[in-house]
Amino acid sequence: MTEKEQYITLGKSNILRLRIKTNEGVDTGEYLEFNLEDIELPLKYQELLNRDKKNREWLKKQMIIIDKREDVKGNQLLSKNEKDKIKAVQSFLKEEVDIYNMFLGENGVQKLLNGSELTWTSLIEINDIIEKQIAPYLDISMKNITEKIKEKYGQAENKEVLK
């Protein structure tokens, strides 16, 4: 008796792959990838927004605390308060990378920066990319998932639950 190989045919993939280009339009070879059927993706986006807000509040509080302290000038270029502000901003940016990578995927921020350091300007650009180029897909994805759930489980007795 001969063995006959059986195959499973996989369904359509709902993976969003966004390739990354430089300002000059050169493909970096990098991309961001999102599974649009991942029910946790909108939750990750919400977590990004919440953690980002808390991190910004933390930085604002640090700046207020530093500004209220008496400053000490030394023989160096920067005063103690100026150095502390720089350290606070560095901590803030480091935390922002972790926050955004939680949503964008491993090294997502680094891919978008194409080797550059994270700065205030690049942080604004990343926010803009997420808001204008990724978030709309999340909205469509959530509508599609909701519709699929309604189709599958939306019998008359369950319709109230899904509203």
pLDDT of the residue at 74: 74
- Please give the DSSP secondary-structure letter assigned to residue 36: T
Does any domain span residue 27?
no
pLDDT in tens, the chain (163 residues): 557 787 776 666 788 899 999 889 899 999 999 988 888 898 999 999 999 999 999 999 999 999 999 998 878 889 999 999 999 999 999 999 999 999 999 999 999 999 888 999 999 999 999 999 998 888 887 777 777 778 877 754 555 555 5
Does any domain span residue 88?
yes
pLDDT of the residue at 70: 93
Residues linked to residue 103 through DSSP beta bridges, in sequence order: none
pLDDT of the residue at 146: 77
Does any domain span residue 34?
no
Distance CA 80, CA 71 (A): 6
Does any domain span residue 10?
no
Does any domain span residue 13?
no
Give the chain's domain count: 1
Does any domain span residue 33?
no
**Parent domain of 107:** 39-162
pLDDT of the residue at 60: 98
Predicted TM-score (pTM) above 0.95: no
Does any domain span residue 22?
no
Does any domain span residue 23?
no
C-alpha separations of 149 from 28, 35, 163 in Å: 38, 17, 11
Scan for tokens 């180029």, then name that residue: 133
